[in-house]
């Protein structure tokens, strides 16, 4: 008989205030003593690519007393490491750990879309288990031949990562089904397949993962279908899959990839800025063509029991929109920290907004602002907005 997968080693002690993504998600799923929330909430995973992005996320977590989940993709760690992904992991995790030590919220660091298929992917995951608190092992797609990975291979490769990571105390996220769309240079697919409920039972039992990204209709990237068409998620399938997982182990949590929504006011603001450019037509059309998933669809997933929602596009758009605004306000400021501060404050606003939408506030202490009063508005300074909501 095949050996059963190793359980997550809960004796592993991470540095001050660091914990696994799974610990934060399980708290969101179940609640616990000290967590007065009766309704389920979700932990948004913020994909960061710069140190300013980390600062913005920490500011948002600390204002709201939120659980903090910072994700990095393969291309993000390459960016942090100036071309060297392993060096990037070291810099990213070192910076986050130092920030967490000075903080009063709990923080997890997670590798987004790691894979154990390619040599490059294996090397990144093997390094990530030394630096992060959680990894994703996405072996759902064979990118070399652009087709879904056969179930048996996905299980074998994901199990290898669980065998390595669980004894070290790191949680592992697996993926079953194929998500369409483009996230970054390393994560894109033209096709999509829903997660097959019959395969889920075997995948979860044989791999031992405690975090699962199923495919129920979400898409990566800023263009989720044709402009004018609304993305429709398969919520009944989400319920069916969760029931299967709960029967195996109630500690299994679900993750929604491609769960970006759009902020209409951010898009509108960007369009106003582009309008002032000399040849605005091509950029403008791209902004007009962005299609996100409506928040009520994502809310349906959270209500069904999804605990981690991956959000990136709307944060990138917020950054870009604010940058466009800062340049059209003053494109001759020689102190480049001025642009830095404007974009970092904008990202902070976006993160605060998403944490409030997900119900992830007041988890570790009472929020320092009145969340009902917060109004996301790029035309105002962050300090003014926060003062208005105290």
> Nearest 5°: phi and psi at 360?
-90, 75
> Nearest 5°: phi and psi at 108?
-125, 145
| Exposure string over 26-37, b if 16+ CB within 10 A, otherwise e | bbbbebeeeeee
Nearest-approach distance from CB 379 to Zn ion, in angstroms = 31
Rg (CA), the chain: 20
Per-residue contact flags (x/-) with Zn ion for residues 246 to 275, judged by CB under 5 A: -----------x------------------
The two tokens of residue 252 are 């299994």
The residue among 169 and 181 lying less far from Zn ion, judged by its C-beta, is 181
The span from the CA of 162 to the CA of 211, in Å, is 11
The span from the CA of 6 to the CA of 9, in Å, is 8
The residue among 190 and 366 lying less far from Zn ion, judged by its C-beta, is 190
Nearest-approach distance from CB 298 to Zn ion, in angstroms = 14
Give bridge partners of residue 315 from the DSSP assignment: none
The span from the CA of 255 to the CA of 376, in Å, is 26
The residue among 65 and 221 lying less far from Zn ion, judged by its C-beta, is 221
Nearest-approach distance from CB 368 to Zn ion, in angstroms = 31
Nearest-approach distance from CB 65 to Zn ion, in angstroms = 27
Q: What is the separation of C-alpha 152 from the centre of its chain, rounded to a whole number of angstroms?
A: 27
Nearest-approach distance from CB 276 to Zn ion, in angstroms = 34
The residue among 110 and 257 lying less far from Zn ion, judged by its C-beta, is 257
Nearest-approach distance from CB 96 to Zn ion, in angstroms = 20
Nearest-approach distance from CB 311 to Zn ion, in angstroms = 10
The span from the CA of 35 to the CA of 85, in Å, is 37
| Alpha carbon distances (Å) from 64 to 273, 343, 356 | 31, 20, 8
The residue among 59 and 257 lying less far from Zn ion, judged by its C-beta, is 257
The two tokens of residue 147 are 């087709």
The residue among 154 and 343 lying less far from Zn ion, judged by its C-beta, is 154
Binding residues among 332-361 for Zn ion as defined by CB under 5 A = none
Kindly state the DSSP code that residue 218 receives in the 8-state scheme: -
Nearest-approach distance from CB 167 to Zn ion, in angstroms = 26
- 224: contact with Zn ion by CB under 5 A: no
The size of the interface with Zn ion (CB under 5 A), counted in residues, is 1
The residue among 291 and 388 lying less far from Zn ion, judged by its C-beta, is 291
Residue nearest to Zn ion (CB): 257
Helix H or strand E segment including 225: none
Sign of CA dihedral 193, 298, 361, 377: positive
The span from the CA of 113 to the CA of 135, in Å, is 8
The span from the CA of 289 to the CA of 267, in Å, is 10
| Exposure string over 172-182, b if 16+ CB within 10 A, otherwise e | bbbbbbbbbbb
The residue among 257 and 308 lying less far from Zn ion, judged by its C-beta, is 257
Please enumerate in sequence order all residues whose Cβ is within 8 A of that of 99, keeping only pairs 6 or more positions apart, or say none: 54, 55, 58, 107
The residue among 256 and 262 lying less far from Zn ion, judged by its C-beta, is 256
Binding site for Zn ion (CB under 5 A): 257
């Amino acid at each position: 008989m095949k050996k059963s997968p190793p359980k997550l080693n809960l004796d592993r002690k991470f540095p001050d205030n660091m914990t696994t993504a799974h610990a934060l998600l399980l708290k969101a799923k179940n609640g616990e003593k000290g967590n007065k929330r009766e309704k389920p909430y979700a932990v948004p995973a913020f994909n960061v690519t710069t140190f300013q992005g980390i600062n913005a996320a920490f500011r948002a977590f600390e204002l709201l007393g939120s659980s903090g989940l910072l994700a990095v993709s393969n291309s993000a760690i390459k960016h942090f490491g100036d071309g060297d992904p392993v060096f990037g992991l070291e810099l990213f995790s070192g910076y986050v750990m130092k920030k967490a030590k000075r903080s009063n919220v709990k923080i997890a660091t997670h590798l987004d879309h790691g894979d154990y298929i390619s040599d490059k992917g294996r090397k990144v995951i093997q390094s990530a288990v030394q630096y992060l608190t959680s990894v994703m092992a996405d072996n759902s797609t064979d990118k070399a031949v652009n087709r879904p990975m056969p179930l048996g291979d996905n299980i074998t490769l994901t199990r290898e990562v669980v065998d390595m990571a669980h004894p070290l105390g790191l949680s592992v996220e697996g993926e079953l089904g194929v998500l369409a769309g483009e996230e970054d240079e390393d994560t894109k697919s033209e096709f999509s397949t829903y997660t097959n409920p019959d395969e889920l039972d075997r995948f979860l039992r044989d791999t031992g993962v405690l975090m699962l990204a199923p495919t129920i209709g979400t898409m990566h990237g800023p263009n989720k279908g044709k402009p004018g068409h609304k993305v429709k998620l398969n919520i009944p399938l989400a319920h069916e899959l969760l029931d299967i997982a709960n029967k195996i182990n109630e500690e299994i949590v679900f993750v929604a990839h491609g769960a970006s929504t759009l902020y209409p006011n951010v898009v509108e603001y960007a369009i106003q800025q582009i309008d002032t450019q000399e040849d605005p037509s091509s950029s403008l059309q791209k902004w007009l063509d962005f299609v996100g998933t409506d928040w009520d669809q994502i809310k349906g997933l959270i209500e069904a029991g999804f605990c981690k929602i991956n959000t990136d596009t709307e944060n990138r758009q917020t950054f870009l929109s604010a940058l466009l605004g800062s340049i059209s306000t003053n494109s001759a400021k020689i102190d480049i920290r001025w642009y830095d501060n404007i974009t970092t404050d904008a990202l902070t606003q976006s993160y605060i907004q998403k944490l409030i939408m997900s119900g992830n506030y007041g988890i570790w202490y009472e929020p320092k602002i009145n969340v009902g009063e917060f109004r996301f508005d790029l035309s105002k300074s962050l300090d003014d907005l926060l003062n208005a909501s105290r």
